Amino acid sequence: MKKVYIKTFGCQMNVADTERMLALLTEKEQGIPTEDPKDADLIIINGCSVRDKAVHKAVSFLGEQQLLKRNSPIEPTTGRKGPIIALGGCVGQLDKGEVFKRAPYLDFVFGPDAIDQLPELVDRAERGQRHFVQVEFDKTLSYSTQTKIQGTKAQAFVNIMKGCDKYCTYCIVPFTRGKEKSRTIQETLDDVAQLVAGGVREVTLLGQNVNSFGKGNPNTQGFEPKELHNIIGKVGPRAGEENFNQLLWAMERDPRLEKLKRIRYTSSHPLDFSDELIECYAPNGVTKLAKHLHLPVQSGSNRILQKMARHHQIEHYIAQMDRLKEICPEVGLSTDLIVGFPTETEEDFQQTLALLDRVQYDNIYAFAYSPRPGTRASKMEDDVPNAVKNERLNRLLQHQLKIAKNRYAERVGQVMEVLVEGQAKHQNMIKPDAEGQSLGRVWTGRTTCNRVVNFIDTSARNYLGQFLKVKITASTSLSLQGELVHDPHFAEQSENVSYSGSYTSAVTSSEVVG
Ligand code: SAM
Ligand code: SF4
Ligand code: F3S
């Protein structure tokens, strides 16, 4: 079996795609994962094109692999030197093979819609074919898939839709992921039921705009027709089509999902974010729904929102956040922001700072505007100098750190339920004793509100995948620290599932690399 190394850049969709690629190759007995590209027979770069820097990272990683080829002997049957190298993800989709001119050592290029064909593509490369491209979008209206994960895990990403029809003026995603298509509710329920039977306790429903789940789906299966509304107007799928709320309620009620404890989702667009979805956060709403919302806003200035073609005003967004906080005061909020969009003035930027004060996010993902070829914004003059973009980005992040510091400090003294995601990367919370011995391990997990909680434990227990009660004892601007509330019944209550050991923290942030 080939050893496979996949380098992943970009958002959760790419992370889920990487997991799918590995699962498909393992299933077909074509490969097993390795952590070291030097050891690999197949190297895949799963690239992201959302910003210029992300593309550069993927391309420079590709460049680094050239040496592996150069230093390997020629394989007599295929004439190929060294590992098979493939470029995929959103970078592969856009490149369409131009890259072969600069990187002739690359074997093939493929896009996100070709992932299920990966075993055949690898076969073709094995048989000696080179420089082929598979970037056709799937033209059918329906979308059907089965989630594939590696090993036994407590958390899983579940794609419920793909593509994006929003065409925000700055964004490349509609060009890399194609038109919106949704799975059916029934297929999604069956899929999640299988995951839950295999030990999964938290799912993150994935899509570029999950709130438009169901739109245009030709395969709806008779869920009660219902229109959704918000302050901006009628939203989401038309009557007769399935919608995101029905999916959440169906997940809440399906007896096969009884052991599923948390449902997360990402991302949404304020235009399609419905009042009915806000109601799901109420105490009599969808109890499995995590008390967290990541709702990208991009800017606090109406003038900039209009140039971005976000199709709503900042007052609408604030009203949505106010209503949600009224219904669910403990909700944790996060957002995406862009600074330095064409024509952004200091006054526009001040409105973005004011938005942070008004909404009180736990966390933000902020980016300097990067023109993407082919988008409408790329035809506008990129007139905010890089130095100004970077200075605004820093000011924004510093401003948010102060807000988050206060918000996190409010949690000290509370007992929170934490799903343990693994051992913390940094174990420096543990101070050595007088003899220089470090006792215990630092575990890390997340609350329902998506706050990171670290705690020390000196027992030899494996807490991976367990829901535990932790008393918060300290806080920073980014995380909470706590003590495990020792529960004499832990052994009986804990799940009788052994989760895969090498599991590291799930990615729930907007960006992984890039
Ligand atoms: N569909 C999601 C949404 O609408 O928010 C995610 C879109 S994108 C994968 C993630 C974030 O990248 C966006 O929310 C936006 O803040 C940022 N982004 C997208 N295009 C960008 C660009 N050209 N320059 C800088 N940041 C960008
Ligand atoms: Fe991009 Fe999100 Fe806008 Fe779609 S909704 S175009 S993915 S920023
Ligand atoms: Fe593609 Fe996600 Fe990047 S959809 S462009 S990998 S942010």
Which residue owns the Cα nearest ligand 1 atom 7? 208
Please identify, among 365, 391, 407, the residue that sits at the C-terminal boundary of a domain. Answer: 407
Residues in the chain: 514
Decide if pLDDT at 491 tops 60.
no
What φ, ψ does residue 406 adopt, rounded to 5°?
-65, -45
76 shares its domain with 161 = no
Predicted confidence (pLDDT) per residue in 187-213, tens digit: 999 999 999 999 999 999 999 999 999
Q: Is the minimum distance from the CB of 316 to ligand 2 under 6 angstroms? A: no
Domain with 243 in it: 155-407
pLDDT over threshold 80, residue 221 = no
CATH (domain of 451):
2.40.50
355-365 per-residue burial string, b: 16 or more CB within 10 A, e: under 16? bbeebebbbbe
Q: What is the mean pLDDT of residues 272-285?
A: 95
Answer yes or no: do 266 and 193 share one domain.
Answer: yes
The pLDDT, as a whole number, for residue 277 is 95
Confidence of residue 505 (pLDDT cuts 50, 70, 90): very low
* pLDDT attached to residue 425: 80
CA dihedral 345, 269, 396, 401 (to 10 degrees): 160
- The predicted pLDDT at position 488 comes to 60
Residue with tokens 């094995």: 126
Same domain, 371 and 498: no
Element (H, E) at 229: strand 228-230
- The residue among 379, 407, 435 that closes a domain is 407
Q: Are residues 127 and 181 in the same domain?
A: no
Position 218 scores a pLDDT of: 83
Question: Are residues 320 and 176 both part of a single domain?
Answer: yes
Whole-number pLDDT of residue 211:
92
| Residue 229 and residue 359 share a domain | yes
**Cα(210)–Cα(492) distance, integer angstroms:** 37
Among residues 208, 127, 137, the alpha carbon closest in space to that of 173 is found at: 208
Amino acid, res. 510:
S
What is the pairing mode between strands 42-47 and 84-88?
A: parallel
Q: Are 446 and 421 in contact, with CB atoms under 8 Å apart?
A: yes
pLDDT computed for residue 99 by the predictor: 93
pLDDT at 279: 96
Ligand 2 atom 1 nearest Cα:
171
Q: What is the pLDDT of residue 143?
A: 94
The ligand placed nearest to the CA atom of residue 90 is 3
Judge whether residue 179 has pLDDT over 50: yes
In a domain, 150, yes or no: no
Residue 171 domain-assigned (yes or no)? yes
Give mean pLDDT, residues 6-33: 93
Confidence of residue 419 (pLDDT cuts 50, 70, 90): very high
Around Cβ 487, how many Cβ atoms within 10 Å? 12
User: Does 228 share its domain with 96?
Assistant: no
User: Other CB atoms closer than 10 Å to residue 378's CB: what's the count?
Assistant: 15
Quote the ligand 2 centre to 167 CA distance (angstroms): 6
Residue 511 pLDDT class (50, 70, 90 cuts): very low
Among residues of the chain, what percentage have pLDDT more than 90?
75
Q: Which of 378, 407, 436 is the last residue of a domain?
A: 407
Q: Which ligand 2 atom is nearest residue 172's CA?
A: 1
Of residues 219 and 270, more confidence is placed in 270
How far is Cα 145 from Cα 333, in angstroms, rounded to an integer? 30
Based on the structure, what is the number of domains in the chain? 3
The pTM for the full model equals: 0.94
Please indicate, yes or no, whether residues 246 and 270 belong to a single structural domain of this protein: yes
The pLDDT, as a whole number, for residue 69 is 81
pLDDT at position 283 over 80: yes
Name which of 203, 215, 67, 71 is nearest 141 in CA terms: 215
- CA 267 to ligand 3 center in whole angstroms: 12
pLDDT band (50, 70, 90) for residue 133: very high
Specify the pLDDT at position 426.
Answer: 75
Residue 468 pLDDT: 94
What mean pLDDT comes out for the span 443-452? 96
- CATH number of domain containing 277: 3.80.30.20
pLDDT at residue 493 greater than cutoff 60:
no
Nearest Cα to Cα of residue 396 among 348, 451, 452, 343: 348
Q: Which residues contact 454 (CB under 8 A, 6 or more apart)?
A: 424, 429, 442, 443, 444, 479, 480, 481, 482
Cα 511 to ligand 1 centre (Å): 9
CA-nearest of 233, 411, 243, 260 to 316 is 233
The torsion region of residue 82 among left (phi > 0), alpha (psi -120 to 50) and beta comes to: left
Give me the mean pLDDT over the 56-78 stretch: 86
Among protein residues, the one with the nearest Cα to ligand 3's atom 3 is 48
Shared-domain flag, residues 265 and 386: yes
* Co-location of 96 and 179 in the same domain: no
Read off the pLDDT band of 181 (50, 70, 90): very high
Give mean pLDDT, residues 55-69. 92
pLDDT band at 489 (very low <50, low <70, confident <90, very high): low
Which band of pLDDT confidence, cut at 50, 70 and 90, is reported for residue 490? low
pLDDT tens digits, 304-315: 999 999 999 999
Whether residue 265 is predicted with pLDDT greater than 70 in this model: the reply is yes
Per DSSP, the chain holds a count of helices (H) and strands (E) of 15, 21
**What's the mean per-residue pLDDT of the chain?**
90
The whole-angstrom separation of Cα 45 and Cα 35 is 14
> Can you give the pLDDT at residue 237?
65
Testing ligand 2's pocket by substitution, the residue of 209, 265, 367, 372 carrying the most ligand atoms inside 8 A of its CB is 209
pLDDT (0 to 100) of residue 305: 98
DSSP string, 54-123: HHHHHHHHHHHTHHHHHTSPBPTTT--BSSEEEEEHHHHHHHTTTHHHH-TT--EEE-GGGGGGHHHHHH
d(CA 263, CA 252): 9
pLDDT of residue 71: 81
Residue 319's contacts (CB-CB under 8 Å, 6 or more residues apart) are 231
Q: For residue 262, is pLDDT > 60?
A: yes
Indicate if 367 and 325 belong to the same structural domain. Answer: yes
- Mean pLDDT, to the nearest integer, of 52-75? 90
Angle at the Cα of 271 from the Cα atoms of 265 and 274, rounded to 5 degrees: 60
Ligand in nearest proximity to the CA of 177: 3
